[in-house]
Structure 1
Amino acid sequence: MASSLTQDELRAHIAGARKIVVKIGTSSLVDASFAVSPAKIDAIVDALEVRMAAGSDVIVVSSGAIAAGMAPLGLTARPNDLATKQAAAAVGQMHLAQAWGASFARYGRTIGQVLLTQADAGRRDRARNAQRTIDRLRQMGAVPIVNENDTVATSEMRFGDNDRLSAIVSTLIAADALYLLSDVDGLYDRNPDSPGAHLITEVRSGHDLARVAAGDGGALGTGGMAAKVSAARLAARGGVPVLLTSAAVIGGALADAQVGTVFHTRPESRLSAWKFWALYAADAEGVLRLDAGAVEAVTRGGTSLLAVGITEAEGDFHRGDIVEILGPGGEAIGRGEVAYDAGELQFMLGKQTSELELSQRRPVIHADYLSNYASRL
Structure 2
Amino acid sequence: MSIAKLSDLADPIKTPRLVFKIGSSLLVGKDGEVRNVWLNSLAGEISEARKRGQQVLVVSSGAVALGAAKLGLEKGGRGSLADKQAAASVGQIALSGLWAQLLSQYGLVAAQLLLTLEDLEYRRRYLNASATMGRLLKAGTVPVINENDSIATNELRFGDNDRLAARVAQAGRAQAVALFSDVDGLYDRNPKDPDANLLDTIKGVTQDHHEMASGDSSSGVGTGGMTSKLQAVEIAERAGIALAILNGLEDAPFRNALETDTGTLFLPRRHDTARKAWLGGRQRMRGTLVVDAGCAKALLEGGSILAAGVTDVRGNFTRGEPVAVETDDGDRIAQGMVEYDREDVDKIMGHRSEEHEDLLGYSPRSAVIHRDQLVVL
- The question of 1:14 aligning with 2:13 is answered no
Number of the residue aligned with 1:104: 103
Give structure 1 regions of 4+ aligned residues with deviation exceeding 6 angstroms.
none
Which residue number in structure 1 is paired with residue 120 of structure 2?
121
CA deviation after TM superposition for structure 1 residue 41, in Å: 1.9
Tell me what 1:234 maps to: 235
The Cα of 1:18 is off from its aligned counterpart by: 0.6
- What is aligned with 2:305? 305
Change (3 A) 1:191 1:129: same
Q: Work out the CA distance in 1 between the residues paired with 2:195 and 2:21.
A: 29
Go from structure 1 to structure 2 and tell me whether the alpha carbon gap of 1:179 and 1:361 turns closer, same or farther (over 3 Å shift). closer
Does residue 356 (structure 1) correspond to residue 351 (structure 2)? The answer is no
SS in structure 2 of the partner of residue 188 of structure 1? coil
Aligned equivalent of 1:67: 65
After the TM superposition, which of the residue ranges 119-128 and 350-359 deviates more from structure 2? Answer: 350-359
Pair 1:288–1:12, CA change in 2 (3 A): same
Match of 1:168 in 2: 167
Aligned to 1:277: 278
Task: Check whether the contact 1:123–1:283 (CA below 8 A) recurs between aligned residues.
Answer: no
User: How far did residue 335 of structure 1 move?
Assistant: 1.4
Q: Deviations over 1:75-104 (max 9, x none)?
A: 353232111111111111111111001111
Q: In the alignment, which of 269, 286, 292 is matched to residue 266 of structure 1?
A: 269
CA offset at residue 20 of structure 1? 0.3
Count of residue pairs the alignment pairs up? 365
Cα RMSD, aligned residues only = 2.5
Contact 1:12 1:257 in 2 (8 A): no
State the Cα distance separating 1:107 from its structure 2 match.
Answer: 2.0
Q: TM-score, length-normalised on structure 2?
A: 0.88
Q: Which ranges of structure 1 fall in alignment gaps of 5 or more residues?
A: none
* Residues 214, 225 of structure 1: 8 Å contact kept: yes
Normalised by the size of structure 1, how large is the TM-score?
0.88
What aligned pairs does 1:300-339 form with structure 2 within 5 A after superposition?
Answer: 300-339=300-339
Question: Residue in 1 aligned with 2:376?
Answer: 372
Structure 2: segments with no counterpart, 5+ residues: none
Q: Structure 1 residue 244: deviation in Å?
A: 1.3
1:44 counterpart (42, 45, 53): 42
SS at match of 1:46: helix
Q: Deviations over 1:192-220 (max 9, x none)?
A: 34323322222223467387353511211
**1:324 partner letter:** A
The more displaced of 68-77 and 96-105 is 68-77
Partner of residue 93, structure 2 = 94
Q: Deviations over 1:238-276 (max 9, x none)?
A: 211122112224241586583312111223xx4333223
The alpha-carbon deviation at position 361 of structure 1 amounts to: 4.8
Q: 1:307-343: CA deviations, max 9, x gaps?
A: 2222444555333222222333554332112223444
Q: 1:52 to 1:152 in 2, by over 3 A?
A: same
Structure 1 residues 282 and 210, CA, compared in 2 at 3 Å: closer, same or farther? closer
